[in-house]
Structure formats: C-alpha cells, structure tokens
Chains A and B, each alone.
Chain A
C-alpha cells in the first residue's frame, strides 16, 4: 500500500455543528460514500469538471439511495448548465445510468458570485487560474477559515515575486486562512515542461502560501507518476525551503490519503468564545484523496 494514496481529489470537511461538506468528487468519494450510509443530505462543492474531480460520483453510494438529497455546486459556463455538463459523464456510453435516473434527489447549483451559506457555514467561490472554468473555495465556520484550491497555477505567465496582491489569482480566497489546501503537482524541475497545464510547482506553491499568509498548508494534488519516495523527498524539500523562507516547517505538509486535521482559528484578543473548529479529512482510503 502506498503511503500517500492513489485516489483522485476528494476532501471531507466536518464543522462544529457536525454538518459536513464534501470538496470534489474524485475517486476518494467512493469510500466516503460508504461511511455516509445514513446521511439524509449531502452537499458537494466541485471546483471544476475535469474527470479526476467528478469520476467518483458514479460510485458514490448516496447517489443510489432514494431517500438521500444531494446538492452539487460547481462552476458556471456559458456553454451549458452544470447539470448538462456533468451529464456528459453520467450518460451513455460512459455510464449505464443517466443523471435523471439516479435514485437520489439531486440538485445542481452554479456557484454564485457572492457568498452564500450552507447551514452555519459561509462559502465564497472565485474563479482561479486553471484550464477551463475552475473555482477555488473559501469556507468559514465562525472564525475558522479553510481555502481549497486544488488545481491552480497562479504563477502562469508571471512571477509571484513581481505581482502585487491584487494581481494574484486566488489571493482573496486564501488570504489569512487557517488552513490552505493547495495544488503542488510538480517539482520545480518538472514544471517548465508543464507550463499552462494548470498546476503549480513547489516553489510557486510555497510563494503563494507565503503571499496569502495562510497559517497552515497542505500541499495537494500529487502527480500520479510520483512515487512515495519522490513525495517523501518533495515533503522534505518543502519543509526545508519553508524554513529557509523564515517560517515554521511544521506548518507545511503533503496531504496523505486518510489524514484527519483539526483546524482552529487562533484566539483573537479576549474573544475566546468565537473560536471556530472544523475537521478536515483528507485523502487516502476512506475519506479523501490527494492524487489526481
């Protein structure tokens, strides 16, 4: 068994009140669906519709439970509705079942330009640099904030060192968050052969994390061709470079399938009562995935 996992992108987030959100529906959502066997409602935020972010839907158990209500949020496109675009995957010849035939009750919502709420949680979506319509999400539970930008190339065509904040893709989403889950698919040496593919090299990921002031970061969306040994080396390099940049190396890690991370906003002034706390399950087997 590999140590970083092999499923594609899916993250489970549990909030203070026990409610949950699922970020992306890569193959990691299959095992998660089995854990959600009794859930009456499920909310899924899709960053985009590349296959590695939606291919788990057809294997997601709640989709096949008539009593389950599923709400899927995702990016809009001038070309077709969110439902019609997802239906290209959940339809013949790729699927034996059509979207309209799914036993569950499913609603497709295109993410609005303004913030919206799901229960007590505030969601903000914004377009980010990747191929095709792609969103990043900022999720706030009380004072605790999480940003999820798994597919992102903020340094495309420009050096992050030379850009002011207003010209950095994803800046508003990730600014000062307690946890940032961010693309880091390539080593710096690999990146020149992949410019424009929509993903980040380690150096650009670290610079982005520094620029937005994220308190903690998970490097995500590992290249499927990277072995565990390669990822071990990347993790060690990330920690060393983050230290050299003047930061705590403990605040940077590569996501691993099955990781469970508790996220809390630091106490601010004397207002301890407002402290938020959320749990993020990442990758590997049961809950999440990092590769894709």
Chain B
C-alpha cells in the first residue's frame, strides 16, 4: 500500500516537539528536516511554516553551519549525523546562520529514533544558544 503518512514514531516526535519550549528539530533517516518547533523558529529567525521541509543539502545551505574556527561544515562533518548512522546519541557545538541576526553559536544534542527497524527512522535534535564564554 502506497503511504502518504509518516511512521508513527515520527508523528509522535513531532507532536512532542510542539509541546516543549526547548528549540528542537525533527529529521528523518535521510537527514531531511521534517519539522522544527516555535522555540527553534525564534532562534532561527523564521517559522517552520515559512521555511517548510528541507532536504539535507537545502538546510545545509540555509543554515550554513560552521565550526568554532569558522570552517564550513558539510553534512558528514556534523557530528549530529552520527545519530542517524549509528543509532547512538550525539552532541556537538557549532555555529549556524539565522535569518534574523547572523550567526548563532549553539550546542546541540541529537537523539536517534529507532522503532522496530535496524536503522534510525529519524532523530530529534535539541539545541541551546551558547554565550560568549561557551556557557549556555
């Protein structure tokens, strides 16, 4: 049966993200950005309704992540992607470009979503703004 519907675990994850005030993003197993919540929208500078779903290459272009030395990060260079590849949690610090006020320094943790299959069907990525001294 050809399906229009997302797997239940991603549906529940999205509903969960709408209920928390920690900035958070939901990606699928391919790294496609499926959703981000209002707290993330406040940090990124535009609502999810404006941005819409983005393939991995699209959100890499939109957020232009860089490391602390200012070097651009490709998808495979972002440690968070390990959560999708290995099914293990991952954490990193990086800077991303926002639509409102240039680059923001963030700390992010990715929690893989695994439900009955070998690989993660997605991940929740929560993030926190870092202050100048590196503290959130």
Report Cα–Cα, A113/B121, bound state, in Å: 14
Q: Which chain B residue has the least Cβ–Cβ distance from A175?
A: B4
Q: Which chain A residue has the least Cβ–Cβ distance from B15?
A: A157
Check B1–A165 contact: CB distance below 8 A: no
Contact residues in B for A171 (Cβ distance below 8 Å): 4-5
Check A172–B15 contact: CB distance below 8 A: no
Report Cα–Cα, A128/B12, bound state, in Å: 10
Is there a chain A Cβ closer than 8 Å to B6's Cβ? Answer: yes
Check A172/B1 contact, CB under 8 A, given A126-B8, A127-B8, A167-B6: yes
Is there a chain B Cβ closer than 8 Å to A290's Cβ? Answer: no
A29 to chain B, nearest CB (A): 27
Check B14–A167 contact: CB distance below 8 A: yes
Check A156/B1 contact, CB under 8 A, given A166-B6, A167-B6: no
Check A157/B19 contact, CB under 8 A, given A76-B116, A129-B11, A129-B12: yes
Contact residues in B for A1 (Cβ distance below 8 Å): none
Check B4–A158 contact: CB distance below 8 A: no
Check A157–B5 contact: CB distance below 8 A: no
Which residues 100-136 in B have Cβ within 8 Å of A in the complex?
115-116
Is there a chain A Cβ closer than 8 Å to B70's Cβ? Answer: no
Check A172/B4 contact, CB under 8 A, given A76-B116, A157-B19, A158-B18: yes
- Determine which of A76, A124, A129, A138 lies in contact with B8 in the assembled complex, contact meaning CB atoms within 8 Å: A129
Contact residues in A for B5 (Cβ distance below 8 Å): 126, 165-172
- Interface-centre pick from A78, A115, A124, A167 (highest chain B CB count, 10 A): A167
Report Cα–Cα, A175/B1, bound state, in Å: 11
B113 to chain A, nearest CB (A): 13
Contact residues in A for B3 (Cβ distance below 8 Å): 172
- Determine which of A113, A126, A138, A166 lies in contact with B4 in the assembled complex, contact meaning CB atoms within 8 Å: A166
Check A158/B15 contact, CB under 8 A, given A127-B8, A128-B8, A169-B8: yes
Using CB atoms and an 8 Å cutoff, list the residues of chain A in contact with chain B.
76, 78, 113, 115, 124, 126-129, 138, 156-158, 165-172, 175
Given contacts A157-B16, A168-B11, 4 further A-B contacts (CB under 8 A): A126-B8, A156-B15, A157-B19, A166-B6
Could you list 8 A-B pairs, sorted by A, with CB under 8 Å?
Answer: A156-B12, A157-B19, A167-B6, A169-B5, A169-B11, A170-B5, A171-B5, A172-B3
